Amino acid sequence: MTTHPSLAAIARYADREADLDEVTTWSVEVHLESCADCRSLMAGYTTGDTRALLDRIATGLDRGIAAGPAPTRPRRWAAARHRWLVWHLMPWLTMTVAVLACAALLEAAQPSFPSLVALLAPVAPLPGVAVAWSRRHDPAWELIAGTPRSGLAMLLRRTAAVLAVVVPALALASDRTGVSLAVTLLPCLAFTAATIALGAYAGVRRAAAVLGTAWTLAVIVPAVVTADPPVVLQPGSSLGWALLTLVLGGFAVTQAATFRRLSSRN
């Protein structure tokens, strides 16, 4: 089977006087779009008038292209930034970093006191994670909730954006004050995983509030009152925190189905 149209068909297509039925016209035209050989064949059948007209159009187009605006380059970085960075998180992240900076300053002024940075590390990502999956804080929540990409993957992506800011801030603060990095970062990750795991049942915002309050009452307040470093943040506890992170993270992944809809709890 030959896919090229016959010479006669091309000749009649090129001649505007010839009577060519519509179906053949279309099939020749579609073929010409993709076949350079047949295009050059057809060029042989054109008259001087047609060639002059084509030349005139070509120079006109060239002039228009030269005078017009230059084509914009695709902005890959901008698209990636929009997919990862969520603007409504910015005020919360700024606040978190500012609080951590204050904690680091206080700690530098009072070295005998239990490390404030380590005490605050578990709850530092919680405001950001709570806001990442909340119908009250995301202006486009209703649009996003109806798209295939919404769900646990979306929440994890936004959580990753929060951690990308909070973890370096914590690392910097604990480096300045000389606290062990494992005791700062592992509880931070464990609380993030716990928020998502509990969020499958109670809503992420509520889960963050419950966990933040519990940590404050059970650990931060006694540590500040008694000025003793809490047991759960001793250097030996890092293995426990790592295991807890893994277990809670694994559990959260099994609950992916509950994040498909943005429920009224969020």
Partner 1 sequence: MRTVSAAETAPSLHPWAIHAEELQVRAGRHLAVNGLDLTLGTGVHGLLGPNGAGKTTLMRALATVLKPAAGRLRLLGEPVDGRADLRQVRRRLGYLPQQFGFYPRFTLREFVEYMAWLKEMPKTAIPGATQRAIERVGLEAKAGARMKTLSGGMLRRAGIAQAIVNDPAVLLLDEPTVGLDPEQRLDFRELLRDVGVDSCVLVSTHLVEDVVAACSDVVLVNEGRLVYQGTPDDLIAQGGAGDPGDSPAERGYSALLRRDRAVSAR
**Residues contributing to the site for partner 1 (CB under 8 A):** 30, 74, 78-79, 82-83, 87-88, 138-150, 257, 260-264
Which tokens is 262 given? Answer: 């943005």
Q: Which is nearer to partner 1, 52 or 143 (CB)?
A: 143
Taking the complex as a whole, how short is the minimal distance between the CB of residue 152 and partner 1, in angstroms? 12
> Residue 4 or 26: which CB sits closer to partner 1?
26
Residue 258 CB, shortest distance to partner 1, in Å, is 8
d(C-alpha 20, C-alpha 17), whole Å:
9
Smallest gap from Cβ 144 to partner 1, in A, equals: 6
CB nearer partner 1, residue 77 or residue 112: 77
The pair of structure tokens assigned to 62 is: 């060239």
3-state secondary structure 137-166: CCCCHHHHHCCCCCCHHHHHHHHHHHHHHH
Axis-axis angle for helices 152-177, 181-202 (nearest 10) = 150
Give least dist CB 123 to partner 1, A: 27
CB of 73 to partner 1, least distance (A): 12
Residue number, 30 or 43, with CB nearest to partner 1: 30
Of 72 and 112, CB closest to partner 1: 72
Total residue count of the chain as it appears in this document: 266
The minimum distance between CB 206 and partner 1, in angstroms, equals 16
Q: Which is nearer to partner 1, 45 or 251 (CB)?
A: 251
